[in-house]
Structure formats: C-alpha cells, structure tokens
Structure 1
C-alpha cells in the first residue's frame, strides 16, 4: 500500500487522519491475507502432516493463529506440532501482486483446555518454569494468550499500535536492516503499557501524546522494567520467586504477559531504537504550532505498594514508584508519622540477606519492582542499627547503644523472637559474643549482621561476679 505522505511531515494534530488514510488495511488486502491463511492452513492440514513423525508419534495441525495488525508481516503459528526450525516464505497475491511474508512457528497445545478461562491454572506456569532451560523457549505455545492480550483492546489503542509499528518499520528497521533489533511484539507491549499507565486505560485519548510518550520511554530504555499479572500472578510462590528474580536482571525488561520466562527485550540493540526515537521527537509529528506535544506521566516502571513494618505499631502502606529516591520515601514516612528520629529502612527477600536501603538509592537499585514489605527502625544518636539472623534465615533489625551490653541486646531479641536470653547464642564473624561485653568494643559497624542460634542442652553462660 503506497503511503501518500510521510509520518515525519505530518503535524501532530493530523495523526488520526494519517492512520486512517495510510495505515488501516483495505478490505481487499484483508481478503487476500485471509486467502493466504486458508491456503497455508489447508496445505498444512491435508498435505504436510499425514504421516508420523521421526519419533513415531502422531503429529497434526490443530489450528493456525493469525495476526493482521502488522501490515508487512503475518505471523502464523501452529498450536500443535513437533518442534522444528521456524519456516518463512513469501506468497504473491493474485489481485494486487503484493508479497506477503509468512512465518511458521510450531508450538505445543499446552493451553488448549484453558483458553476460555481468565487465567491458566498456576500449574501450567510452574511446569513451564521447571522445564524451561532456555528463556522464552516455549513462548510460541502461548501465542493464543499473546493474541488475546492485544485483540480485545480499544480501537484507538490499535491505531496507536499501528502508528508506532509504522514508525518502527519505516524509520528504524528499514534503515538498519542488519541490526539485531527488538521484535515488534516488544514495541507493542511497551505501547500498551504507556497507554495503560498514561491514560488509566481511557479509550478517548490523543494519538500524538501517545506517540510522544512511547518515544520518550524508548530514550530511557536502560531503566524499563515492565510486567503484567493478567495470566500469571504472585499467588504461587514458585511463580513469585521466579518473576522477582527476573525483575532483578539487567534492564530493559519487558516480560511477556503470557510467558514469565520470556523477557522480550533481552539481547537486542536498543541504543539504535533509542537514537531513532530521539530523532522522531524532533519531527513535525511530535509538534503542534512549533510546540512539542506533552507526553503522559509514565515512568519506566509501574508504581508498587510498599508495606512498612514497624515494631509495636500498625503497618503503614505507601504507593511509590521504584525510581523514587529512598530519601523521599523516608521523608514521606516521617511526615506521616510525625517523627523526628533517624529512620532506617531495610528489606529482605526469602532467600537473601537483610539489606539497608540507603537514602541516595532507589528501590530499583535493589531490584524492587513489585509489591514488597520493608522494615522501619527509628534510631536516636548514638544508637546504631544491627541485624540479627535467626536459625530460620530471617533477620530482624535492632536499635542498640554502643555503651550497652550484649545482654541488653539479648533482652530485645527475647521480646521479638520468643527465645529466652539464657538460651541465645550470638556470633559475629565466627566469634561467640559474651553477655557482659559492651557492644562498643565488638567492632560492630552500622547494619552489621549477627548470627543467632539456640544453645545446646547443658550449655550455660554466667555473668562474672
């Protein structure tokens, strides 16, 4: 389809018209594509899989999934088949003679029983996580969910998707044909994320603001960390642990909403895309009357819920962005509590060590991109914070005065751990700490970790007379 005008020459206020006139496929073109799909599907069903596979197992085509949103590429996927290499070929249509590229990706029908349910059962993803030695290796098996994730979106969002895709194909891929660029799917997901957060999923929005927002996010690709919990959630601990670890990996991170093992942004040359996005932001399509269009307020990661635990007081719940300074989070807590003490924040993952959250860092600096719990401790100089790790591997924080005794710390531990101080043994750097020692002579630094264990039967420790 010939384009009567260029995107970069189109003023921002005319983008809706540009999409309608230039990017929406015609009825004739759709019919030609559907004919290609029917022809390919017939050939696959009737001719290609009428014999047993090399493994002497029955193999057949259950269905072919098509996606007509991308104009230049039709991604056709077999939902039940034997693993093999991807097959790609070009079909010449009868009417217009326009070539259509077809890509065939075999997949297992892993979700066939659950496609009409809001979510597959957690066992599907637990099995995927346990079986997946190559990230995203089974992603084609989730293509039906991937298609549905986009299919039921508002028409105007699909117009924005077409606009972003057109920019990507014409101004990035076409100019860098040999570069290892991200797949279109990654750009689709980023665009959906921008719309969800920027408009609160409003169906009535301005295309120009959507385009500027996506371009702005692409210029900050190093901080992108995006995921969804539509098809998989954190209700299952195996899924939760896996996704939390994935979110700690090098960014950009855009997890496939249908497959948590697949970071669709990993391993590609995003800097090239970022450079082209900066170029786009300078063009007419991002300006109205010489004024650049304002982007939506969309951060590189979603806001998360932080539950602040404080000993002896009810929990405090905050909604913050992972890229908000921890110093600013402390100030918000201080204002809420009306406290003038020094606030110390720390957090611990189930399989990790308790860590101090430093004021100059962000939650993102510690890989925190999902709802989490943190511990609040108030200290008054000269008190310092110490972490005490109990036999289960969990740590608690304590405010201690360097002039106090180890016995005083054990008293605090007794109240929190419900372990009598006479039964406690504390170690630091392999040395057992004696009850009558003052903390100041033990060489503790702020936020050091002590190891707590229960004394064996018959052991006792007495203060000197």
Structure 2
C-alpha cells in the first residue's frame, strides 16, 4: 500500500487513526528493539574502561541517554536506528571532551568487540565515523526476529550535570561552550537531554504531527543522480534515495560492476577537504540532497585509503599499503595526473615525505590527507623525527 498517496486522501479528522495504523510502531516490536538496546545500555553502565594516557585511569559511565526518535517518542514504524549518548566521568570540560573524544571512542570500541552479551546478539560491523561529532556504530539483532538494529554511541561531557529535565541550564554553561570553540555541532550531545525533553513531554498530538512530517519527508524525498568516479573505469551513474544507507549504494555498485574488494566512497564539497562516506550513514546524513559526484576506491586488506590534496584544492583517493614506500604512491599520482614522481613533494603534518620511507613510519593512517606540491629545485628532504 502506497502510504504517501493514502496520506493525501485522509481527512484531517482521521489523521490520528492514520498515524496509529500506519506510522506508530507496535508495542511488541518496540519492546523487542528496546530489549536488545537495553543490553548495550547495561554493558555501558557496568563496564569499567581503563583510561588511556592523559585520561582518568577509571573511566565510568555517569548516564546513558537514548536520543533521537526513540528517545523523544516519535519513532516511526520499522525504524531500527537507535542513538545513545554516554556521559563519562573523564570529561570535566568541553575542552577535555574535544581532546580525548577519539581516545574514549577507541576504548569503548575495544570493550564492545569483546562483550559476550553483544556477540550473542550478532554484533557486527563496529566502526568509528569521522563525522562531527564522531560516533561508534555497530549492528546487533533482535532476539526473536533477528532483525538488524543499528546502534550509535556518542561519548559526551555532562555539561548540565544531574539537573532536572525542565530546569534551565546556568549561563556559565554557555559561556564555557563559546570559549571551547569547536566545529558546529561537536558539543551538541552534551545538551541531548534538553533536546529530548523538549519533545518527550509534549502532547501526543504534537508527536503525531512530527511522525506525519517525517513520514511525508521520507516518502517525498526524490531520488538523486549519483555519478561514481573510479580511476580506470568509465563513470557509473546511479539513482539513489538520499535516505538509503551508503552500504546499499555500495551494493548497487557491486551489482553493476561486479567488484569483490573493499569499497571506499568519498566526496568533496567546494572549499572543503575530501571526506570518507561511512557505510552506516546516508547521503542525507552528509547534507547531500541533490545530484552529486563521489569517488570510489577499491582496496584489498590490509591496504588503507589516503587522500592527496592537489595545489588546486581538489583531493583524490589512493590505495596504499602501510609498509610500502612513499615512492609507490608518487608513481600512482604520476600515472593518474602526469606529474613526474621526481617532481612531486608530499607532506603530512609538516613532514616532507621521503621516497624510501613507508607510510607507517610517518604514522599515516586510513583516510589521512597528504598535501601535494611541485618540488622546488635543490630542496633538501629530511627523514621523520
């Protein structure tokens, strides 16, 4: 049944029943999802994370908050994406959160991968996104139906403290927030309780309206044209719903091209650096709602992907092996761009890379960006310190 067409034919007096019949999840289904997610919440509350260098030795979870549609009571039927914000004892300021956010995510990731209760729920595909704020994503299964449930965990500084749901935060919180700087949205999880409470305690009719708007938005979102660029292959044109997961986009590419390797997709906004597209997210998550071009790189484990930023500001993706020399990458650039390897200068975090050193020597990791320029005559190069 085409729900979008049904919606336009429903009189206003029957919208409540339409929401109940088609959009509101059944109690049994919702309880099954929340039971599985409850296992994740118990793990977080009971686990003690051994602090890394610079962190408290005993990192404790102060509170776990369900946010998004599951947290505020506006979840749509068959939605299986659950977001959790974790307030931690090791964050005493916004600055500390920004400094240790990635380290804490790695701590949680290691513990998640060893948790027997989560492994019993079919734990799969744990990964850390590179978005703002970055999060730990993984998939588990509902016990009865084995339906996949996508879980995201975001660690945050509990800036509001144990305040009451309806109390106003003190002005000092916003003063410290402004002083901390950071990218837009990087500290938004610290205020997730305010965001959740704003909707959670509203009348049912308002929640029904939000469900209708979300349903209409998803049904009416038009497909966009995505042009997939891959070195050595003609462009591939796909029609993609912006709300489809990147994983489904990869499956379409695999079906059309027959690739068997690990696909890495990236895109670049004008004036910005190239970014990796996470399989757990969608194009809409990255703000892409119109025709776009993305770059695909096929790698074979244990290869990694690096971005090379050209002098004109454009970035391109290359597959390299961490233990192989820099010269191999320069030869790839020469084949693709025509600039001779001997004329290339690659830099990473202030270091000029020498041809005979490998990438691991410079601490270069997956999705790092290298800067390319034309080498000046007689320029001396130095090994990494």
Task: Using structure 1 for the length normalisation, give the TM-score.
Answer: 0.39
Higher CA-based Rg: 1
The structure carrying a bigger strand percent of its residues is: 2
